[in-house]
């Protein structure tokens, strides 16, 4: 029996998410897939039922992310289903609570952008004026508002308040983003969800969750990548034999597998600790991301190499997975970002 | 999801505290200092600690109570090893307790139990392994050392190589060829040979780490009583396989990694390049050590539930042995520029001296750790084991 990547979050939700991702990928309709995800309540999965959400757990979020990672659609699950609701819940203001209520009611659809370089000018009426380049806004899937972290402010920016994009891009994994040049964009006081230390703290909390969710995505994608490699090597015949008979290729896959097992158990421990303590440990999250960044790059490059020329083709499932791994490395903080976060604490003390 | 979720009647926390108290109060300071400084351990060191453990009834953590073991489950064994590593207590000498001991328990006669088990438990008998030969390393079944039956004795002639600790051992458990018929695995027999037997010559092999670990053992018509045969004639391969299957999980290899990383991190503090030059590698190593610990705990959970796959235990061995090299490699980078050219001090007469300071020991260990991916099944052999499971063939 060949290798099948185990899920960390087995159950109906994982199975349903994996089926949904496979079907949606086959249909090739990302916008339609996102509408379905919204209809299934995934953007409010983590929100308490008392607040109108689905009352799901971290494991439920993990099941959705893992399931979808097996057939990468490029849905913004981390930003919209983890980071956005977490930011609103952590902000703890009336305006944030109202936005959360609207999200649960399906009245708003939120993208999340971190924009530390924007110039923010406070206005006398409590509103703000924004100047500068707002980078990385979703350019493919519909949304009504952007949750913006700018300095020590959290802002809710209506989509229709944004000027036309100055540029649009397709990422390595196919996701589309846009940059918008803001010139004196004025937002009323009601658009300010939180300020100061409370805003900074909420941003940090939600970012930890987003980083963690990204690592789950990466581990699951790596598992799916290994499956693809094994299938390919077992069926592709060269020199009259299956490629899987060549020891050097088998060993390459084994190295990917050991990486995958290591990542999986490390993340399982993080989940268990989080359930036990009720909160994600920021340092542990950063350490996992640093590690997964390394493994993701290694796994993507190995997969491309193992597939030979086929590994360079854009439509092959393995190619999609590899490109997703390469992108995920830079999402929610590359190696340098994680190193900066980890620099404050010595290594040995934490073992 | 958690690897420690299995319900049990054992109070693991109380057990851990008991082991900690014991380690703190009973392990001599000089031994702990040798372990802390990563000095080369010899029989005298191991045996001293084994006597102390034996007096406490903890001589054999992996053995059943009926044979003088503790009867601990895998989680207790892990906690025991964890505390031992944290407190810088010596590891236990593995050839008796971990290797031939379990084979003796399973295949030995009552007379063999009575003769050999007490000496393993109290550390008075020291064992080494006579497996590898110049032409039989990873392909162990190709071994040629022959044993001819003459009455109640075997007459053994041949050569063993890479025999760790032979120079300080009393006995060698030895795979010999008693038949050349059939499959090559079928003609192998396991003999227990006293190393003071006439016809045995032990010659050290100088290794790159400048420590004396391994030897060549030459056997020239060595007469071994048939009573020293373990298992059936031709059953040696079964014994060797039994050992491999049983020793799939070794908690010590993980917990000692954690301590090693702490020590390497401390060494790096004094590097002229500053700690920041090593920060990323140390952090990645920390993540990998944590992953190793979780892999072990997950494997222990699997083992206790009868579902441990060979691929997981081989993955653990592979991960740990290569990680050990990466960790010690960090120290090598930090200390190498000065220490590589000042590896071993010379006396006035040109003789090599022993330097046992922490930095010297790190360099010795960097070289010694090259063996981690070779001994006990090379990384390539482990990869073959895993690949068979991943590919289903």
pLDDT at residue A348 is higher than 60: no
pLDDT at residue A351 is higher than 60: no
Residue B270's pLDDT is 80
Closest Cα in chain A, distance from residue B83 (Å): 14
Please provide residue A134's backbone torsions phi and psi, each rounded to the nearest 5 degrees. Answer: -95, 110
Give the pLDDT confidence of B170-181 residue by residue, as tens digits.
999 999 999 999
A139 and A230 both lie in a single domain: no
Instruction: Establish how many alpha carbons lie within 13 A of residue A313's alpha carbon, considering only the half-sphere containing its beta carbon.
Output: 9
| pLDDT (mean) for B266-275 | 83
B230 and B262 both lie in a single domain: no
B276 and B182 both lie in a single domain: no
Residue B309's pLDDT is 85
Average pLDDT, chain A: 94
Give the pLDDT confidence of B28-70 residue by residue, as tens digits.
999 999 999 999 999 999 999 999 999 999 999 989 999 999 9
The C-alpha angle A109, A113, A118, rounded to 5 degrees, equals 130
Among B93-107, B214-228, B246-260, the minimum mean pLDDT is found in: B246-260
Residue B120's pLDDT is 97
Percent of chain A's residues with pLDDT above 70? 98
Give the pLDDT confidence of A159-180 residue by residue, as tens digits.
999 999 999 999 999 899 999 9
Dig out the tokens for B347 from the structure.
Answer: 């006396």
B323 CB within 8 Å of a chain A CB: no
**Which residues have CB under 8 Å from B57's CB, separation 6+?**
B70
Helices B310-339, B251-269: inter-axial angle, 10-degree rounding: 20
Distance of alpha carbon A84 from alpha carbon A138, whole angstroms: 14
Which span out of A14-18, A274-278, B95-99 was modeled with the highest average pLDDT? A14-18
Domain-terminating residue out of B76, B92, B108: B92
Residue A132 gets which letter from DSSP?
E
Range of the domain at B57: 12-92
Q: Residues A3, A227: contact at Cβ < 8 Å? A: yes
Nearest to B387 by CA among A250, A303, A243: A250
A184 and A205 both lie in a single domain: no
Please provide residue B138's backbone torsions phi and psi, each rounded to the nearest 5 degrees. Answer: -60, -35
- Domains in chain B: how many in total? 3
- Domains in chain A: how many in total? 3
| pLDDT (mean) for B226-234 | 97
Give the pLDDT confidence of A125-149 residue by residue, as tens digits.
999 999 999 999 999 999 999 999 9
The C-alpha angle A195, A196, A197, rounded to 5 degrees, equals 125
The reply to whether residue A251 touches residue B288, judged by beta carbons under 8 angstroms, is no
Q: Residues B295, B316: contact at Cβ < 8 Å? A: yes
Strand partners, B157: B146
Distance of alpha carbon A69 from alpha carbon A327, whole angstroms: 13
Q: What's the complex ipTM? A: 0.87
Residues of B with catalytic roles: 247
A16 and A149 both lie in a single domain: no
Mutate to test the interface with B, among A3, A223, A261, A337 (most CBs of B within 10 A): A261
Please provide residue B68's backbone torsions phi and psi, each rounded to the nearest 5 degrees. Answer: 95, 5
Distance of alpha carbon A348 from alpha carbon B325, whole angstroms: 17
B253 and B214 both lie in a single domain: no
Output the pTM of the full model: 0.89
Instruction: Establish how many alpha carbons lie within 13 A of residue B126's alpha carbon, considering only the half-sphere containing its beta carbon.
Output: 20
Q: Residues B311, B390: contact at Cβ < 8 Å? A: yes
pLDDT confidence bin for A73, thresholds 50/70/90: confident
Among A37-41, B73-77, B86-90, B325-329, the minimum mean pLDDT is found in: B73-77
pLDDT confidence bin for B338, thresholds 50/70/90: confident
B17 and B82 both lie in a single domain: yes
The reply to whether residue A268 touches residue B312, judged by beta carbons under 8 angstroms, is no
Q: Is residue B98 part of a domain?
A: no
Q: How many CB atoms lie within 10 A of CB A234?
A: 17
B378 CB within 8 Å of a chain A CB: no
Q: Is residue A103 part of a domain?
A: no
Instruction: For residue B139, give the CATH number of its domain.
Output: 2.40.110.10
Q: Is B196 exposed, middle or buried (0-12, 13-18, 19+ CB in 10 A)?
A: exposed
Percent of chain B's residues with pLDDT above 90? 74
The C-alpha angle B80, B85, B89, rounded to 5 degrees, equals 90
pLDDT at residue B305 is higher than 90: no
Chain B residues within 8 A of A58 when measuring between CB atoms: none
Strand partners, B151: none
- Reduced to 3 states (helix: H, G, I; strand: E, B; else coil), residue A5 is coil
A206 and A344 both lie in a single domain: yes
The reply to whether residue B391 touches residue A351, judged by beta carbons under 8 angstroms, is no
Residue B1's pLDDT is 33
pLDDT at residue A285 is higher than 50: yes
Say which residue the tokens 């299995």 belong to: B6
Residue B247's pLDDT is 65
Cα distances from A279 to residues A53, A165, A172, B239, in angstroms, run 19, 38, 33, 50
B230 and B272 both lie in a single domain: no
| pLDDT (mean) for B13-39 | 96
Instruction: For residue B307, give the CATH number of its domain.
Output: 1.20.140.10
The reply to whether residue A2 touches residue B312, judged by beta carbons under 8 angstroms, is no
Range of the domain at A215: 198-350
Average pLDDT, chain B: 92
Q: Is residue A6 part of a domain?
A: no
Residue B138's pLDDT is 79
Q: Residues A58, A271: contact at Cβ < 8 Å? A: yes
| pLDDT (mean) for B351-355 | 82
Q: Are strands B188-194 and B229-230 parallel, antiparallel or unpaired?
A: antiparallel
């Amino acid at each position: 029996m060949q290798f099948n990547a185990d899920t960390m979050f087995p159950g109906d939700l994982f199975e349903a998410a994996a089926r949904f991702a496979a079907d949606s990928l086959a249909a090739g309709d990302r916008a339609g897939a996102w509408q379905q995800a919204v209809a299934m309540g995934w953007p409010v999965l983590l929100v308490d039922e008392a607040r109108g959400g689905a009352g799901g757990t971290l494991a439920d979020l993990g099941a959705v992310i893992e399931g979808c990672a097996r057939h990468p659609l490029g849905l913004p699950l981390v930003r919209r289903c983890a980071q956005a609701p977490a930011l609103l819940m952590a902000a703890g203001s009336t305006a944030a609570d109202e936005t959360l209520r609207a999200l649960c009611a399906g009245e708003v659809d939120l993208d999340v952008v971190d924009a530390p370089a924007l110039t923010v000018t406070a206005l006398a009426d409590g509103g703000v004026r924004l100047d500068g380049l707002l980078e990385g806004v979703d350019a493919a899937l519909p949304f009504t508002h952007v949750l913006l972290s700018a300095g020590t402010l959290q802002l809710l920016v209506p989509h229709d308040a944004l000027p036309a994009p100055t540029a649009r891009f397709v990422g390595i994994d196919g996701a589309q983003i846009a940059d918008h040049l803001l010139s004196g964009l004025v937002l009323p006081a009601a658009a300010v969800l939180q300020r100061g230390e409370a805003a900074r703290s909420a941003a940090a909390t939600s970012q930890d969750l987003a980083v963690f969710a990204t690592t789950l995505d990466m581990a699951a994608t790596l598992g799916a990548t290994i499956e693809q490699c094994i299938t390919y090597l077992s069926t592709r015949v060269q020199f009259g034999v299956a490629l899987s008979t060549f020891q050097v290729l088998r060993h390459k896959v084994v190295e990917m597998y050991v990486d995958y097992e290591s990542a999986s158990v490390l993340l399982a421990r993080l989940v268990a600790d989080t359930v036990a303590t009720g909160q994600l440990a920021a340092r542990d999250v950063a350490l996992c991301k640093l590690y997964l960044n390394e493994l993701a790059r290694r796994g993507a490059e190995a997969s491309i190499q193992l597939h030979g020329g086929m590994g360079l083709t854009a439509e092959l499932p393995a190619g999609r997975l590899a490109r997703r791994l390469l992108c995920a490395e830079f999402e929610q903080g590359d190696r340098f970002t994680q190193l900066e976060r980890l620099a404050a604490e010595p290594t040995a003390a934490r073992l | 999801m958690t690897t420690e979720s299995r319900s049990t009647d054992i109070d693991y926390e109380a057990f851990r505290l008991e082991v900690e108290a014991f380690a703190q109060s009973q392990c001599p300071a000089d031994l702990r200092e040798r372990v802390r400084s990563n000095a080369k351990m010899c029989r005298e060191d191991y045996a001293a600690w084994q006597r102390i453990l034996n007096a406490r009834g903890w001589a054999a953590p992996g053995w059943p109570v009926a044979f003088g073991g503790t009867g601990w489950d895998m989680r207790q064994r892990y906690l025991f090893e964890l505390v031992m590593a944290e407190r810088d207590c010596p590891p236990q000498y593995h050839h008796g307790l971990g290797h031939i001991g379990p084979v003796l328990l399973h295949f030995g006669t009552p007379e063999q139990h009575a003769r050999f088990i007490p000496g393993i438990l109290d550390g008075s008998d020291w064992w080494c392994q006579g497996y590898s030969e110049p032409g039989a390393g990873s392909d162990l079944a190709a071994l040629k050392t022959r044993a001819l039956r003459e009455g109640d004795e075997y007459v053994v002639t041949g050569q063993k190589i890479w025999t760790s600790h032979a120079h300080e051992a009393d006995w060698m458990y030895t795979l010999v060829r008693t038949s050349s018929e059939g499959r090559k695995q079928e003609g192998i027999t396991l003999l227990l040979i006293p190393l003071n037997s006439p016809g045995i010559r032990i010659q050290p092999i100088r290794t790159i780490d400048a420590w004396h670990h391994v030897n060549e053992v030459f056997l020239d018509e060595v007469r071994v009583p048939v009573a020293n045969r373990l298992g059936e004639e031709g059953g040696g391969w079964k014994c060797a396989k039994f050992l491999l299957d049983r020793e799939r999980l070794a908690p010590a290899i993980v917990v000692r990694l954690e301590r090693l990383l702490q020590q390497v991190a401390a060494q790096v503090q004094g590097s002229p390049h500053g700690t920041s030059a090593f920060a990323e590698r140390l952090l990645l190593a920390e993540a990998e050590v944590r992953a190793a610990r979780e892999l072990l705990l997950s494997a222990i959970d699997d083992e206790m539930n009868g579902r441990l796959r060979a691929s997981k235990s081989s993955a653990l061995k592979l991960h740990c042995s290569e990680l050990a090299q990466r960790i010690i490699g960090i120290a090598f980078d930090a200390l190498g520029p000065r220490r590589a050219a000042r590896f071993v001090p010379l006396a006035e007469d040109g003789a090599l001296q022993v330097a046992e300071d922490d930095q010297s020991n790190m360099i010795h260990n960097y070289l010694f750790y090259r063996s981690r991916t070779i001994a006990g099944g090379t990384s390539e052999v482990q990869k073959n084991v895993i690949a068979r499971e991943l590919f289903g063939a």
